[in-house]
Amino acid sequence: MSKTPHLRVYSTERAPDEAAPATVEEAFRQYAGYVATIAYRILGRDGDVDDVVQDVFIDAMSGIAQVRDPASIKGWLGTVTVRCASRRLRRRRLRGFFGMDQAPDYALVASEGATPEQRALLGRVYMILDGIPVKDRVAWTLRYIEEEKLEDVARMCGCSLATAKRRIAAAQDAVERGFDDET
């Protein structure tokens, strides 16, 4: 799945000889694309990504100085992104419960070159993810859409490896049941 045009405004590449960021501004320049990509894949909507990126770097202003190893800033920002995107998902669910949120068009999540079948498939996956607990959705998304290692999923979700595995398995069961219901 490629990035949407919106996400291309953020650079995700860092020069190999570039030092780890010392300030929030430097971290933003280096990692805003990384943060946006994770947020987009967790949320499945482009409209909330800018807000999450902004929230992540606002949080970073108060916490970046506490990161002891400058090389671990990227991972720390990933964890903050997961936390901010999870909050956004919970708010979205609450607004949806009260009829204050419009139905998403998940066909837009797919890359421009995707076939109609791929768009429909991806849209179906995100609709199923909308119906499962946020923690399960986030862990599954990080593992299978963002292709993070299990250890990184656990770290980013702030849980043990066993808990991350249980959340991923629960979400996978829901996805499989969602597709079984179609047949």
Got the DSSP string for 68-87? Answer: S-GGGHHHHHHHHHHHHHHH
CA dist 162 to 94, 134, 169, 171, 175, Å? 29, 17, 11, 14, 20
> For the chain, what percent of residues have pLDDT higher than 70?
83
Q: Which domain holds residue 11?
A: 5-182
Tens of pLDDT, residue by residue over 80-89, are: 999 999 999 9
Q: Do residues 161 and 151 lie in contact, with contact meaning Cβ atoms separated by under 8 Å?
A: yes
Confidence of residue 56 (pLDDT cuts 50, 70, 90): very high
Total domain count, the chain? 1
Tens of pLDDT, residue by residue over 148-175, are: 999 999 999 999 999 999 999 999 999 9
> Residue 142: phi, psi to the nearest 5?
-60, -40
CA dist 126 to 60, 96, 138, 141, Å? 29, 15, 11, 10
Q: Is the pLDDT of residue 20 over 50?
A: yes
Q: Is the pLDDT of residue 35 over 50?
A: yes
Over residues 133-159, the mean pLDDT reads 96
Tell which wins on pLDDT, 55 or 110.
55
Over residues 17-34, the mean pLDDT reads 78
Over residues 4-12, the mean pLDDT reads 42
User: If you average pLDDT over every residue of the chain, what do you get?
Assistant: 83
The pTM assigned to this predicted structure is 0.79
Query: Which pLDDT score is estimated for 116?
Result: 87
